[in-house]
Amino acid sequence: MRAVCVIGLGLIGGSVLRAAASAGRPAWGSTASEVDATAARADGFEVLSTEQALRRAAAEDALVVVATPLTAVRAVLREVAEHAPEAWLTDVVSVKGPVAAEVRRTLPSARYAGGHPMAGLSASGWSAGFAELFAGAAWAVTVEEDTKVAAWREAAHLALDCGAQVVPTSAAAHDSAVARISHLPHVFAAVLAAVGSDGGPLALSLAAGSFRDGTRVAGSDPDLVRAMTEGNRDALLDAVDDALGRLGAARGSLASTGSLKSTVDAGCAARADLEELADSPRTSSTVPLDAAGLARLRELGEQGGRVVALSADAASVESPEL
């Protein structure tokens, strides 16, 4: 089993380290946070300096997992280039295009495929993590024209070992999608919380499930939310513009005719799409792990398919019957 070296031991990186160890892999990490380092060591994990961690990764031909906020990725990749330039490489950062661009710049011959587990909590740091965080979750693994099959397989294998299901996707398609279903929800939660709080104690005293649910992620660490949303600026601007258009149309319709029919019906149908995708029966297929197979996997990912198992030379995919 390939060893795993996790750089960054916050909620996500810390949970990856735990899950990799639980899967029986040799695993160690490094973190710039003394608090996280102390907590991880207290839980029995090996925490090294980043240089030590990467040197060991090079010596053991490990998979290096970059699990820092986007703002720290460039500095980490430079250390990887210095200490483990041949390492297997993936990341769990919430935006994929900017990370891929950094990898191309800093480690042009890296054996890299990007990753993004779709699991989170409003809490952060090592102490908030646990090995089962990714159980049943989607975990995007990027496929580009130049992605090496072996590198993709390593990243996907880690995701499966962590209990997740792999969604093959291009970085661009991923970033556009998560702008809609992760980054815009954070912006909406922040705006909704502020408009509610502007109503004073009476409004907050009357607030119930719809407000609590709609503002939950506004309680997340602001630095992490900013790193995530600001790091996906172009795609998020598109999503915000779509939202402004729809919200403006709702406003116009409510003001002029008193009706929110279009808005409410579209929202109800869209929410049903989400349930339908989740509840749909699945078709299984097997895709060979070669260059053409990777392209096919990306197509299946765009249709809602997920890789649920890997053999030495093939991927098992479950696709919704939509």
Task: Please report, in angstroms and rounded to a whole number, the separation of the first and last CA atoms in the chain.
Answer: 37
Applying CB under 8 A, which of residues 64, 156, 187, 307 lies at the interface with its own copies?
A: 187
**6 and 66 Cβ atoms separated by less than 8 Å:** no
Q: Binders of its own copies among 41-70, rule CB under 8 A?
A: none
CB of 268 to its own copies, least distance (A): 5
Applying CB under 8 A, which of residues 48, 81, 190, 308 lies at the interface with its own copies?
A: 190
Applying CB under 8 A, which of residues 149, 172, 250, 308 lies at the interface with its own copies?
A: 250
Decide whether 59 or 272 has the Cβ nearer to its own copies: 272
320 lies in the binding site for its own copies (CB under 8 A): yes
Strand runs labelled E in 54-148: 63-66, 88-91, 111-112, 115-117, 138-142
Write the interaction track for its own copies spanning residues 260-299; mark x where CB under 8 A is met and - where it is not. Answer: xx-xxxxxxxxxxxxx-x----------------------
Per-residue H/E/C for 148-185: CHHHHHHHHHHHHHCCCEEEEECHHHHHHHHHHHHHHH
**289 and 298 Cβ atoms separated by less than 8 Å:** no
The angle, 0 to 180 degrees and rounded to 10, between the axes of the packed helices 291-302 and 149-161 is: 50
Q: Binders of its own copies among 116-145, rule CB under 8 A?
A: 118-121, 137-138, 140
- Choose the stretch contacting its own copies; rule: CB under 8 A; options: 4-12, 39-47, 99-107, 171-179: 171-179
Decide whether 50 or 169 has the Cβ nearer to its own copies: 169
217 lies in the binding site for its own copies (CB under 8 A): yes
CB of 230 to its own copies, least distance (A): 6
Q: Which amino acid is at 304?
A: G
**103 and 110 Cβ atoms separated by less than 8 Å:** yes
Give the integer Cα–Cα distance in Å for 86 and 313.
22
Decide whether 58 or 250 has the Cβ nearer to its own copies: 250
